Amino acid sequence: MDDLKSKYLDLIGSAADEATLEDLRVQAVGKKGEISLKMRELGKMTPEERQVAGPALNALKDEINAALSAKKAGLADAALDERLKSEWLDVTLPGRDRRQGTIHPVSQVWEECTAIFADMGFATAEGPQIESDWYNFDALNIPGHHPARAEMDTFYTHRAAGDDRPPHVLRTHTSPVQIRSMEEQGAPIRIICPGRVYRADYDQTHTPMFHQVEGLAIDKDISMANLKWTLEEFFTAYFGTKVKTRFRASHFPFTEPSAEVDIQCDFSGGTVKVGEGDDWLEVLGSGMVHPKVLQAGGIDPDEWQGFAFGMGIDRIAMLKYGIPDLRAFFESDLRWLKHYGFSALQVPTVHGGS
Ligand code: 2NL
């Protein structure tokens, strides 16, 4: 019996896994195991022999069962240690950078304009980028023979051969949206129309597509004074500093009288500083809406009057962020935009490094 004991305790001690342990359990204390067989032999013994052998066998069985459970627990601990070693997680590592996008500066300025004018009671209106020549030109008092049509470097769409109707155009300004709004809602009206506009022009200061925001306020007694206040209020909010404006007489077919508007700035330091100094920078065109334009929009010019203005979003974005070349926005010259701090343009890596 001592042989049996040392044999199984040795085997259990050196078992490498739970499966081996289970085989040993069956061999030793299973129903047909060695100890069970020995217990069956008790019946053939004399009572005296049985009194010694019985308790000894039971004790051996208990001892082997105890060794089995102890070893099993030991193996489980070792397995857990092994897992903890291989599946460790360093919670002190810095987090991985995420790919980050930002809103394009033109879109930021677009939204900012919308918000500033909204605070002054102007709703935002949008409309089609491909327009009939009526909405883009005729309704704005620019008839077919008018030099402004040629001056505008318009992109025309094609008509089929034999189709004599005038071609549609890529809108050259967002004024058509204002005509449509006049038709739809009538007077009084206070709207701004931000949007993409197109002109066949390309150099240092022009791109074929650019962004414009036009404004329109029509009521019983709107005047140039209201226009001046509105624009000064806008520029002061937009540049975050008091900005003076200067009105210079001008001419547009759709306004009478018309004025070009300059904002106060300082060119002396090599950069443009808005709201300081004695220099002036032209930023927009404006005037009182021409009676013929009111009429084209279905509004009675004997009863209503109003101001209108138009300015370039790209241009005022460049002024605010100090970007010297308009094409930086469109030609994806990442160096420029990075230089000016537009982090959206930092190229993300596979691992999200910055
Ligand atoms: C410019 C000139 C201007 C307007 C746009 C306008 C619109 C309607 C009626 C009358 Cl519906 N006028 N818009 C008026 C004056 C100037 O833009 O040089 N913009 C950069």
Tens digit of each residue's pLDDT (9 = 90 or more) over 259-311: 999 999 998 877 788 999 999 999 999 999 999 999 999 999 999 999 999 99
Q: pLDDT class for 238, splitting at 50, 70, 90?
A: very high
SS3 content of the chain, % helix, strand, coil (to 5): 45, 20, 35
Residue recorded with tokens 């051969």: 161
- Which tops the pLDDT comparison, 245 or 149? 245
- Alpha carbon of 231 to ligand 1 centroid (Å): 14
Question: What is this structure's pTM?
Answer: 0.70
Tens of pLDDT, residues 323-348? 666 555 555 555 556 655 555 444 44
Peptide bond into 143 cis (omega under 30): no
Q: Please give the single-letter amino acid code of residue 249.
A: A
Q: Does residue 253 register a pLDDT over 60? A: yes
**Which pLDDT does position 353 carry in this prediction?**
44
Q: Which of 173, 198, 305, when mutated, tests ligand 1's pocket best, judged by the most ligand atoms within 8 Å of its CB?
A: 173
Q: pLDDT class for 138, splitting at 50, 70, 90?
A: very high
- Alpha carbon of 173 to ligand 1 centroid (Å): 8
Shortest-distance Cα residue to atom 17 of ligand 1 = 310
CA distance 212 to 288: 19
What would the two tokens of residue 247 be? 């009105």
Q: Among the listed ranges 10-19, 214-223, 340-349, which one has the minimum average pLDDT value?
A: 340-349
> What percent of the chain clears pLDDT 90, i.e. is strictly above it?
53
72 CB neighbour count, 10 Å cutoff: 16
Q: Does residue 204 register a pLDDT over 80? A: no
- Alpha carbon of 80 to ligand 1 centroid (Å): 77
What would the two tokens of residue 203 be? 């150099």
**Which pLDDT does position 103 carry in this prediction?**
77
CA distance 117 to 87: 58
Q: Does residue 209 register a pLDDT over 80? A: yes
Q: Among the listed ranges 56-70, 209-223, 280-294, 301-315, which one has the minimum average pLDDT value?
A: 56-70
Query: How many Cα atoms sit within 13 Å of 145 on the Cβ side?
Result: 0
- Alpha carbon of 330 to ligand 1 centroid (Å): 24
What would the two tokens of residue 123 be? 């709703």
Report the pLDDT averaged over residues 102-126.
Answer: 92
**Which pLDDT does position 327 carry in this prediction?**
55
- Residue 67 near residue 7 (C-beta atoms within 8 A): no
Which residues lie with the beta carbon below 6 Å from any ligand 1 atom? 175, 178-179, 214, 216, 252, 254-255, 284-287, 289, 293, 308-312
Q: Does residue 354 register a pLDDT over 50? A: no
